[in-house]
Amino acid sequence: MDTVVTKRIVLSGYYGFDNSGDEAVLQSILLALEEQGRESGIRFVPIVLSASPEKTKATYGVEAAHRMRIGEVIRAIRGADGLISGGGSLLQDATSAKTIPYYLAILKIAQLFGKPTFIYSQGIGPVHRGMFFGWIRSVFNKSKYISVRDKESKELLLKMKVAREIAVVPDPVMGMPLGSCASQAAAHADRGGSASDKPVIGVSVRYWNQDRSELKALAEALRTVLERSEAVIRFLPFHLPSDAAASAELMGWIGGGFDSRMTVADHITHPQHMLAEVGRCRLLLGMRLHSLIYAASQEVPLLGISYDPKIDQFLNRLQTSAIASTQTVDSAKVAEEMLRLLERRSAWQEEKRELIHRLKDEAQRPAHQIASFFIKGRGSK
C-alpha cells in the first residue's frame, strides 16, 4: 500500500513482573502486530500497561504506562485507537479474586471511551465465582474480536453465554522468532548439545507443593539420567528469582558429584534470549507452560509436568500428555522417558514437525484480524 496508517493500541496483560513467560507473550504480540501491520499498511504504535514502565520501554522500545495508576491508564486509553487484552491466563480467580475485576475494568474503560477492544489468545479460567460470569459475558460481548488459546477456554465462555464468535488459536509465543541477536548466539552452538558436545537437557521448575515432594522426585529422576547418560543439565528459570531458587534446591538434592554437569541460566530476562537457550537443548523437562511452548516452537522434544490445566491443554494441542503431575511423580517413569527421547530426538521432530508449523502459522491469526479490522475501518457485524 502507498499510504501507511498509524494506529495507537494499548496492550493490557501481566507485564513488567519479570515473568519470562508473560514477557514472551508481550514480545510475541508486539512482533506479530509489527509483521501483520506491515503487510496491511498499518504502523501500530503500542502502549503497554506495565508494572515496570521504564523497564518495559527500555526492553521493547515501546511506550508504556503504569498499570496501577488510573490516571496514566485513562490517558493511554483515551489517546489510543484500540485496546488488546492478553494473552496469558488473565481471567481466572484461582490466584486472587481481584484479577478478573482488574482486567475487565481495563476493557470496560476502553469500551466506555468508544475504543474497539480485542481479546488476544487468552486462557480463560478457572472461574470459581459465579458472579464473574455475567461480568465477563457483558464485556466480551462488546469486544470486536475474541480469541482463546484452547478449546476448554472457548467452552467456558460458551457456558457463560458469550454470544460473539470465539476463535481458538495457539498461544502467541508459538509464533515468536528467535530474533537477530538470539539467532547469532544460537548459530554458534550445536542446538542438540553444548560446546563440549554433550547433550543438554533443559529443566524448568517452579515451587508448588509445600513439602517439595515433586521437586525431590524430579531430582531422583534427573540423577538417574545423569548416571545413565553423558547429558548435562541446564536449569532455565522462567520467573526470577523464585524459579532460580527452586532450581538451586533441586541441584542440591541431585548431588552425588554431578555439580560439574549442572548449570543455571539465572541472568536471562529477554524472552528471545531464553528462547535461544531452549533451542540449544536436546530435550526439555518443564513445569512452566512457556518453557514447553518455547521447546515446541524450536522443535525440541519435551516432557511436561502438570500443575495446572493449562499445561494439559497445551500438551493436548501437541497430541501428547504430561509425563507426571505435581501430585504424582513416578521418578523411574520420568527418567526412562527422558532417556528414550534423548535417543529418539529426530523421530520426535519428524512426528511433530507438521503440527508445530501449523500452530506457529495460526499464532499470527489474532494480529492479522486486528490489522484487518483497522483496514476495513469497522467492526465485525
Q: Are residues 64 and 185 in the same domain?
A: no
118 and 56 together in one domain:
yes
DSSP 181-213: HHHHHHHTS-TTS-TTSPPEEEEE----STT-H
Q: In terms of domains, do 38 and 109 share one?
A: yes
Q: What distance lies between CA 310 and its chain's CA centroid?
A: 11
> What's residue 195's pLDDT?
45
One domain for residues 80 and 159: yes
pLDDT < 50 regions, the chain: 1, 181-195, 378-381
pLDDT value for 3: 80
Residues 195 and 67 in one domain: no
Count of domains observed in the chain:
2
Q: Does residue 174 form part of some domain?
A: no
CA angle 176, 198, 232 (to 5 degrees): 80
369 and 355 in one domain? no
**Does any domain span residue 335?**
yes
**For residue 250, is it within any domain?**
yes
On whether residue 381 sits in a domain, the answer given is no
Q: Is the dihedral of CA 152, 156, 158, 164 positive or negative?
A: negative
Q: Say how far apart CA 145 and CA 370 lie, in whole Å.
A: 8
Separation CA 311–CA 305 (nearest Å): 8
Asked if residue 202 lies in contact with residue 285, where contact means CB atoms within 8 angstroms, the answer is yes
Query: What is the amino acid identity at position 69?
Result: R
Q: Which residues contact 270 (CB under 8 A, 6 or more apart)?
A: 23, 59
In a domain, 187, yes or no: yes
One domain, residues 93 and 226: no
Whether residues 215 and 309 share a domain: the answer is: yes
DSSP run (H or E) holding 302: strand 302-306
Are both 100 and 198 inside the same structural domain? no
Residue-wise pLDDT tens digits, 106-139: 999 999 999 999 999 999 999 999 999 999 999 9
Measured distance CA(139)–CA(33) in Å, rounded: 23
**Residue 161 and residue 186 share a domain:** no
* Domain co-membership, 34 together with 148: yes
Go through the chain and tell me how many residues it has.
381
- In three-state secondary structure terms, 48 is strand
Same domain assignment for residues 209 and 289:
yes
3-state secondary structure of 45: strand
C-alpha neighbours within 13 Å on the C-beta side of residue 88? 24
Residue 175 within any structural domain of the chain: no
CATH number, domain containing residue 198 = 3.40.50.2000
Q: In the chain, which ranges are continuous DSSP H helix? A: 20-40, 53-60, 70-78, 99-112, 131-141, 151-159, 180-187, 213-228, 242-254, 271-279, 289-297, 309-317, 331-343, 345-362, 365-376
Whether 227 is covered by a domain: the verdict is yes
Residue range of the domain that includes 319: 180-359
